[in-house]
Structure 1
């Protein structure tokens, strides 16, 4: 399976955790090379408009201001997908029942592993919009 196909399976777990109210956080990590973009964080936002996420792009240089956007899950998926294998090789899903890690190895193959949960409660992102 290509890493793109494995990422779709990983994303199914993300959507399932949201549907079941277990989604705590998602982080893109393990940068490739030395990009200015250091991390991407995704936190839940429950609003009157339904479920959205706060996507935060954190930059390494102090000159570049971090960006925050409130997005739908579909839009967040496109943002994350665009940074796979170009900027990041790992995506971590934190839920209240398990942590799920998606990785792309040096040969371009994707894998999914599961571990015990880091978070036991869902903490909603604070937005200033």
Structure 2
């Protein structure tokens, strides 16, 4: 069975946490072997005129590259990195931590745990205060 439908389900949790105002942080991590790309961090940002976007910070051994995307674009950009090189995506919300994992057979699973963060991302809080919704 392919892991893609389970990753899509995980991404729905990401979208829902942004819409609910509970999103704190998202990280793609745990690479296969020693890779150039070490992590990708996803954080919400407000661009000019309060336009919501997701900042994707790709951390390489020698540099960091940041790009900005809509929620749907971010999914298209991030999905190919699952299984190559990342095995784990960690979503931190104020309600719970949701982990998407690929096992050795590359079967995806979603695990929920108690929340690590008590507060949502500063940008999410600012959006709530300004009445900006996605």
Q: TM-score, normalised by structure 2?
A: 0.84
Measured against aligned partners, the alpha-carbon deviations of 1:2-41 in whole angstroms (never above 9, x if no partner) come to: 2101101111111111111111110001101211100000
Query: Which whole-Å CA distance do the structure 2 matches of 1:106 and 1:57 have between them?
Result: 24
Which residue of structure 1 aligns with residue 131 of structure 2?
Answer: none
Which residue of structure 1 aligns with residue 14 of structure 2?
Answer: 14
- 1:49 is displaced (CA, Å) by 4.6
Following TM superposition, the consecutive aligned residue runs of length 4 or more in structure 1 with deviations greater than 4 angstroms are: none
**Map 1:105-120 → 2, pairs under 5 A:** 105-120=103-118
Measured against aligned partners, the alpha-carbon deviations of 1:23-69 in whole angstroms (never above 9, x if no partner) come to: 11100011012111000000111343532111100112xxx320111
**Map 1:33-52 → 2, pairs under 5 A:** 33-47=33-47, 48-52=49-53
Which residue of structure 2 aligns with residue 90 of structure 1?
Answer: 88
Contact 1:46 1:124 in 2 (8 A): no
Q: CA RMSD in A?
A: 1.4
1:59 has 2:57 as partner: no
Contact 2:23 2:121 in 1 (8 A): no
Matched pairs, number: 122
Query: Which whole-Å CA distance do the structure 1 matches of 2:121 and 2:50 have between them?
Result: 18
Query: Which whole-Å CA distance do the structure 2 matches of 1:76 and 1:115 have between them?
Result: 24
